Amino acid sequence: MMKSVLLAAALFGALSNSAFGDDRYASRPPVVLSPDLTAPWIMQLGGSQVRPVVYQRPVVQQRGLFAPRVVRRAPVAQQVSAINPGIPVVRQRLEPQFLPQIVDYQTKERPGTIVIDTNNRFLYLVMDGGKARRYGVGVGKPGFEWAGVHKITRKAEWPDWTPPSEMVSREAAKGHYLPARMDGGPENPLGARAMYLGSTLYRIHGTNAPWTIGSAVSSGCIRMRNEDVTDLYERVKVGTRVMVI
């Protein structure tokens, strides 16, 4: 009798764990906004001066030859000395020009069009009256630059990521081994939202490395801060014209 009770309890525990595992990604995590997100919009109303956003980039350390890596993170507001003396933390700024703001923008493109200026690292969402919403972006690194006109063919929230085989091979040659597939979430390189361009492998998407905005670091995709790509995502539809220059 006792063996039957123990067997039933073990079976119930296994089924419960399986159910919890299936529910792990049933709901996507929320977008966490950086503290200075609203500063540019307040400035439009005559508010205070915009300050750069400072990100704490995690530092990866190796303990021993075969030990798993240790990733240390710290809240943005903390000082380096208060985090852990002796452990380096890279503080990187996102300059104010890469924060979202409404700017004067003269173009022949219709309102609602997205224009991406890869040289200056800006994405413009064209508005009426010679204005545009401007966001800072990260663009393709040397050798991965491109230009062209496409339409948004699909939109996804907290998208999964399947690295292209070419990228897997390229990174493996450098000693970086990518997963075959990665579920959507805060650690996913595609970030909170993705907008797919035509039939290409290129996307406008979020990032898990916001300090790279304003740089040429991607394999051709246009990356944005999660809070910025979420804002843009809500303003555009499938079929939106996207011009990359």
Is this structure's pTM higher than 0.75? no
Residue 6 structure tokens: 């123990």
Which residue, chain included where needed, has tokens 């979202």? Answer: 100
Distance CA 25, CA 114 (A): 31
From the candidates 123, 137, 139, 221, which is the catalytic residue? 221
Active site residue 9: no
Active site residue 137: no
Distance CA 60, CA 39 (A): 31
What's residue 163's pLDDT? 73
Q: What is the pLDDT of residues 130-182, one digit of tens each?
A: 999 999 999 999 999 999 999 999 999 999 877 777 776 777 777 776 676 67
97-126 average pLDDT score: 97
From the candidates 133, 205, 223, 225, which is the catalytic residue? 205
- DSSP letters of 129-195? TTEEEEEE-BEEPTT----EEEEEEEEEES--B---HHHHHHHHHTT----S-B-SSTTSTT-SEEE
The structural architecture, per CATH, of the domain 96-244 is: Beta Barrel (2.40)
What's residue 185's pLDDT? 86
Q: What are the extents of the domains in the chain? A: 96-244
Nearest alpha carbon to residue 190 among 145, 217, 236, 156: 156
What's residue 64's pLDDT? 46
Distance CA 156, CA 153 (A): 10
- DSSP letters of 20-59? HHHTTTSSPPPPPPPTTTTHHHHHHTT-PPP--EEEEE-E
What's residue 113's pLDDT? 98
**Burial (CB count <10 Å: 0-12, 13-18, 19+), residue 187:** exposed
